[in-house]
Amino acid sequence: MVAIFRNFSTARSSVQYIPRRLSLYAADRDLRRLDGNSFPFFDERKQLESRLVSLLDGCDGLVQLKQVHARVYRKGLEQCCYVLAKLVRTLNELGVPVDSYQRLVFRQVHAQTMLIGGFCSDLYVGNTLIGMYVSCCDLGSGRKVFDEMLHRDVISWTTLIVAYTKTGDMVSAGDLFDGLPVKDMVAWTAMVTGFAQNAKPREALQFFKRMQDAGVETDEVTLAGVISACAQLGVAKYAKWVQDVAEKSGLGPTDNVVVGSAMVDMYSKCGNIEDAYLIFKGMKERNVYTYSSMILGFAIHGLAQAAMQLFNEMVETETKPNKVTFIGVLAACSHVGMVDQGKRVFSLMEKHYGVVPDGDHYACMIDLLGRAGHLNEALKLTETMPVKPHGGVWGALLGACRIHRNPDIAQIAASHLFELEPHAIGNYMVLCNIFASAGRWDDVSDVRKLMRGKGLKKNPGCSWFESKEGEIHEFFAGDTKHPRSSEINGVLEDLLQRLKGLGYQQILSSVAYDVSEDVKKGILMAHSEKLALAFGLLDSSANRPIRIMKNLRICEDCHSFMCGVSHIIGREIIVRDNVRFHHFNGGTCSCGNFW
């Protein structure tokens, strides 16, 4: 067959024009007519190929696809790489989950293309093979095809780069990118987005700057990644800069719904909920992302009424709420303890809006009940909910046990969590904290032993602050490496004395170590958010709010410290912890001590 195919392909090279998209019926009829021929000559092979391709184009189900597949073999067309490649594409487009049938097709395609060296010379087939392996999570085979291809284009590279970013292997992705001879906008964007999606926002922003210096164009997809990076970092200065860049490229938030929605999220996560709302208001078109981002923005700022009101406005429009929208509404209730409202929304979401609650929604409900102190009700709901509770659900319960100091329920939650997420360090730390504040030091040391046994290390507390110049200064707990470290300590000492004069007492139970009181006091004063606050006072200009970002939940002692400092200095302090914002002003916090 191979020999015949090659002979004919040199002897008769003219192929008649065949429209690509025929109706299913016509394609099928033509195929049947061609069935009469016992031996496929080149032109007829070409015709068959086109017919099969158009059949695949019109394919709307797995059954049809399998029929076409069978026909490929019946007609001896298994060497037509294009048809096989198309078959794989169609499987992907149909969204068929990777099962044994799909693997069978993959193996056949690979075997045939190996046989005739298809992917060595044909870019489309090679790229399809890479994509195919990537889609079934066999990156190694994808890489092998890539390495064996004689010619590669930027698409081959980008497919593989993206595959590496999706597995979190940014090093391999970066190596590939560096070796890419001609980098286009899509390839650059893949890297920027890859960093953003792998929680490396700083690298994402650096890459975007490099991209701009290289004179590469920017479009809305690139911006989406960059904006997401800014949101993660929460840096207001970059946020403004990115908006400038966007508007210069004609992709401002007013006219572009993707850019606008991402910016709503970005500004609210930078602490500028007012700017977020301004963007929202100014947008010409709003979709479910836009509304959900805004509702979530209100939620993390503790503005539950605004979130509810916006939700009510939303359901009057054409835009239907989805899963994420309800996460936002429930989170809003949770952050202020609106238990009854939350329960009502939860009960209506399926009945009125057709959104079936999933594990994440239950996690919100457990969080809502737990935060409000209804720990037993929360436990009961966890045990009776219709879907199997995932880590988030038990995690919410564990978090509630920390707030309300309930080591017994905490143990139940933790035992599930250690099964479901054995490597998630945060769970062990929270349990340690709960036992520590109950004075159960033996239990604390058991948990620490368990962690050591698994080779887990504490996730260090880290805070950062954006200086006047837009530089990001990062502080770890107990950090003395900052060049202005001694000044920082001086500021803290001064603040501590003045607060003590007002009756402030350090909350020693916030320390999860069994050490002396003096050591505890020292540990508390070296918490990263306090270091960042002191540096903020040294650096920033007066009358502007001080914005601090933190990777973990703010501790009780730091919370009360911030309250006091906001009173002393007469300035607003905004702290973003891992879940929400705290606006400290004149001695009180926007969370009303409920967080």
Partner DNA sequence: ATAGGGTTAG
Q: How far apart are CA 113 and CA 101, in angstroms?
A: 18
Verify binding: residue 395, DNA, rule CB under 7 A: yes
Q: Which stretch binds DNA (CB under 7 A): 191-199, 238-246, 341-349, 437-445?
A: 191-199
Q: Half-sphere exposure of 42 toward its Cβ, with a 13 Å CA cutoff?
A: 15
Q: How far apart are CA 148 and CA 96, in angstroms?
A: 28
In the bound state with DNA, the residue whose beta carbon lies nearer, of 335 and 520, is 335
Q: Which stretch binds DNA (CB under 7 A): 56-64, 71-79, 138-146, 157-165?
A: 157-165
In the region spanning residues 295 to 324, those forming contacts with DNA, defined by CB under 7 A, are 296, 323-324
> Smallest gap, in angstroms, from Cβ of residue 224 to DNA?
4
Q: Report the 3 state secondary structure along 47-79.
A: HHHHHHHHHHHCCCCHHHHHHHHHHHHHCCCCC
Q: How far apart are CA 213 and CA 44, in angstroms?
A: 53
Rg (CA), the chain: 30
Pick the closest to residue 371 from 553, 171, 172 (CA basis).
Answer: 553
Q: How far apart are CA 174 and CA 390, in angstroms?
A: 34
> Smallest gap, in angstroms, from Cβ of residue 441 to DNA?
24
In the region spanning residues 404 to 433, those forming contacts with DNA, defined by CB under 7 A, are 417, 421, 424, 427
- For residue 584, list its beta bridge partners: 573, 589
Q: Nearest 10 degrees: CA dihedral of 283, 287, 293, 299?
A: 100
The residue from 189, 382, 406, 437 that contacts DNA (CB under 7 A) is 189
> Smallest gap, in angstroms, from Cβ of residue 482 to DNA?
29
In the region spanning residues 64 to 83, those forming contacts with DNA, defined by CB under 7 A, are 82
For the chain, how many residues are written?
595
The residue from 128, 243, 272, 382 that contacts DNA (CB under 7 A) is 128
Number of residues that bind DNA (CB under 7 A): 69
Verify binding: residue 205, DNA, rule CB under 7 A: no
> Smallest gap, in angstroms, from Cβ of residue 133 to DNA?
13
In the bound state with DNA, the residue whose beta carbon lies nearer, of 114 and 425, is 425
> Smallest gap, in angstroms, from Cβ of residue 194 to DNA?
8
In the bound state with DNA, the residue whose beta carbon lies nearer, of 334 and 566, is 334
What Å distances lie between residue 106 and 44, 84, 87, 296, CA to CA?
26, 9, 10, 42
The residue from 57, 220, 247, 474 that contacts DNA (CB under 7 A) is 220
The residue from 102, 228, 506, 560 that contacts DNA (CB under 7 A) is 228
> What are the DSSP calls for 400-444, one per residue?
HHHHTT-HHHHHHHHHHHHHH-TT-HHHHHHHHHHHHHTT-HHHH
Interaction site with DNA (CB under 7 A):
82, 89, 123-124, 127-128, 131, 153-155, 158-159, 162, 184-187, 189-190, 193, 196-197, 219-222, 224-225, 227-228, 231, 257-258, 260-262, 265, 269, 287-290, 292-293, 296, 323-325, 327, 331, 334, 360, 363-364, 367, 391-392, 394-396, 398-400, 417, 421, 424, 427, 579-580
